[in-house]
Amino acid sequence: MTKRQRTLLFLSLLGLFFVLAPALMLYSQGYRIDLASRRITQTGAFYVKAVPLRADVLVDEKLVKRTDFLFGSALTRNFFPGSYAVEIAKEGYHSWQKTLEVKEHSVTEAKSVLLFKENPAFQQIADQVLRFWISPDKQYALLEKQSSGSSWQLRLLNLRTLGEEPFLRQTSSKDKVLHITWAEDSKRFLLRRGLNEQVVSEIHSISSDQPCFQNPCGLEYLGEGIGEIEFLPSDSRRIVFTKFLNTTQILFSVAYEEKEAPKAVANNVVAFEPDGSWVMWLDEKGALREQDLSLQAGAQVFAESLIVPKKEVPSALYHAGDSVLLLQDSALSLQKKGAVKRQEVLSPVLEVFLSPDHAKAAIRNNSELWVLFLKEETGQPRHQEGELVLLTRFSNPPKQLSWIGSSYLLFSLEDAVKAVEIDDRDRLNIAEVAKFPNPELFFDNKKGALYVLSEGAFSVSENLVK
């Protein structure tokens, strides 16, 4: 090869380098030639994470990837800016479909996708059940069952072994179960029963090594006029309760096993909620206060308010970090710690349910489902703190509201059990999980199992979200 040929070859390769290098650099950064718009455009991507694993990801009806078998995630690249029909599907499951927008040099995410089985299997585990109460550790269920004639009995069902044993029987025709509340340790429960036109409160243990096992710890020594009673979550040997003295409602704390004298915590209490070793209450002046009952320190002010609550109507508190929701007379308001102004959220409201991460609150009324974001949601879709989102409305009232994780809601609608996502981009994905006549529901997030009471039959599903 002559010197002239070598020079020409070098210059040609050098020119080719200067032409290809920028093109390769642009290509590595996601730039492509968009023939539709006849320009060079930087592309975007989709990232999805779904349960169950190994689900198909389709974009505009074309299979582009399958989620991996370790984390259930998939990243698909090189999409021009625009809207795409995304579907995540797996045989035997309800598919997830949504139109999502891709932007230049960005990743559009759907990280909390649940696919529900189309026909999940249910096993009946008890019959002749009137009501049920599942323990906080999800290991036991108290069943109020129909006995001979019109009488009832309480039976304890072990949800691991499905063994069932009698616990308590009706003592007379005027003996009725009013309410049952489990302690946080799942070893004992509070039973409030109507007996001969009086309300009797007693605490029962389900463990033979615990007090109140064979002989319940009666609370009659606390006197009459007792209102709401709750276990202290950090110590099930203590309860907090309200009691009317003249026209004033006082909040007390007591160690009931020793039948100690009640200790007054606060006066002029409208509503209260225990949380760990703390108890929070709303007083008649509208102030929210809290106190650690494990210490000798006094009460702390959570927030003052210019709004005076109504004493004569039912009230409930929902505490989530630096936020407190107050439901009073079917009106829901939000109080931030240290703030004077209380934000009106929604009215009327029938039910409020905090998410497991306490970052959101699900709200239902006679026809609608809402989500209130108590903390800023930085993932996709983004939501501001305090933002209220209407998910959907129905012609019939939704009931039995609960959370599946922190991204889906479970509820009943007439005879159908349904699950709905809270991702409000485009259409909502609503899956019909099962059908039962007039169902009562409880979802175990740890096991992914749904408990259903319908027409006396108490059943449990297989894992719905493997």
Mark whether 108 and 228 lie in a shared domain.
Answer: no
The parent domain of residue 321 ranges over 219-347
CA atoms within 13 A on the CB side of 168: 24
pLDDT in tens, 36-95: 555 557 788 999 999 999 999 999 999 999 999 999 999 998 898 999 999 999 999 999
Mark whether 109 and 223 lie in a shared domain.
Answer: no
Residue 167 is assigned to a structural domain of this protein = no
Query: How many Å apart are CA 316 and CA 270, to the nearest integer?
Result: 9
Mark whether 342 and 223 lie in a shared domain.
Answer: yes
Residue 327 is assigned to a structural domain of this protein = yes
Query: How many Å apart are CA 287 and CA 43, to the nearest integer?
Result: 53
What is the structure's pLDDT at 8?
61
CB neighbour list of residue 21: distance below 8 Å, 6 or more residues apart? none
Query: How many Å apart are CA 140 and CA 263, to the nearest integer?
Result: 32
CATH number at residue 280: 2.120.10.30
- Which two structure tokens, joined as six digits, stand for 240? 């907090």
Question: Which residue in 113, 109, 43, 38 sits closest to 82, CA to CA?
Answer: 43
Question: Which residue in 383, 384, 433, 386 sits closest to 408, CA to CA?
Answer: 433
What is the structure's pLDDT at 362?
98
Residue 239 is assigned to a structural domain of this protein = yes
Which residue among 283, 315, 347 closes a domain? 347
Which residue among 347, 370, 403 closes a domain? 347
Residue 179 is assigned to a structural domain of this protein = no
CB neighbour list of residue 262: distance below 8 Å, 6 or more residues apart? 222, 241, 243, 252, 253, 254
Residue 213 is assigned to a structural domain of this protein = no
- Which two structure tokens, joined as six digits, stand for 362? 């699900």
CB neighbour list of residue 349: distance below 8 Å, 6 or more residues apart? 327, 330, 331, 332, 363, 364, 365
CATH number at residue 69: 2.60.40.10
Query: How many Å apart are CA 418 and CA 399, to the nearest integer?
Result: 10
Residue 26 is assigned to a structural domain of this protein = no
Strand partners, 364: 351, 369
Residue 293 is assigned to a structural domain of this protein = yes
Residue 455 is assigned to a structural domain of this protein = no
| C-alpha distance from residue 343 to each of 346, 351, 385, 388 (Å) | 10, 18, 12, 12
Q: Burial code of 16-37, b = ≥16 C-beta within 10 A, e = fewer?
A: eeeeeeeeeeeeeebbeeeeee
Which residue among 54, 81, 114 closes a domain? 114
| Residue ranges of the chain with per-residue pLDDT less than 70 | 1, 3-40, 306
Q: Number of structural domains, the chain?
A: 2
Helix (H) / strand (E) containing 233: none
pLDDT in tens, 226-248: 999 999 999 999 999 999 888 88
